Amino acid sequence: MPSQLWPYITPGIPDELFERLPGIPLSKREIRLLLLSQLRLKPDTVLWDIGAGTGTIPVEAGLLSPNGQIIAVERDEDVANLIRHNCARFEVKNVKVLEGSAPDCLHDINIAPDRVCIEGGRPIQEIMQTAWQYLLPLGRVVATAANLETLYSISQSLSQLQARNVEVVQSAVTRLETRGSSQTFTAVNPIFILSGEKLD
Consecutive 10-residue averages of pLDDT for the chain (200 residues): 88 96 91 96 97 96 97 95 97 97 95 94 91 97 95 96 96 88 90 94
Can you give the pTM of this predicted structure? 0.94
Q: Which long-range contacts (CB under 8 A, 24 or more apart) does 81-88 make?
A: 82/19, 82/20, 82/21, 82/24, 82/54, 82/55, 83/52, 83/53, 83/54, 83/55, 83/58, 84/55, 85/19, 86/18, 86/19, 86/54, 86/55, 86/56, 86/58, 86/59, 87/55, 87/58, 87/59, 87/62
pLDDT digits 0-9 by tens, 137-194: 999 999 999 999 999 999 999 999 999 999 999 998 898 989 888 999 988 888 999 9
Nearest residue to 167 (alpha-carbon basis) of 176, 158, 175: 158
